[in-house]
Structure 1
């Protein structure tokens, strides 16, 4: 195998590692702030189509941000995941 093929393979491997790290980071961010981010995007979508976003996405994003702030201030362990899960309380 010549040197250029090895370097190309190394570059592809590095690229895949970077893409994997970005994907893992995105999953972590959306798992922690997913509801708030979805509501903010919904508010932006309402603004784009001309409706008032304060009635929809922004209000819910602020509410979910409050839930996230309350949840972040509590001490948690792996054993009490279901008791601190915001989604399980809002169903």
Structure 2
């Protein structure tokens, strides 16, 4: 089964499909005041986060367990700020 990112589309926070660039990762909506959606691509260890105010960023070389902890966190935004924001290289998509 192919991931949405492999097919060239991704899910928006509203659940619709949208054309994507090759670099885009399939994201799932999250409940957060600062983050709209989060996705992870395990082969490249790329964590992709869509922020409400600043757009989409990819965090590079993020181990899968960090993504799992982020998605299980009581506060996605607080976990991101404490554990990911300054710990991994990132690029704006």
TM-score by length of 1: 0.31
TM-score by length of 2: 0.30
**Larger Cα-atom Rg:** 1
Q: Which has the higher helix share?
A: 1
Q: Which has the higher strand share?
A: 2
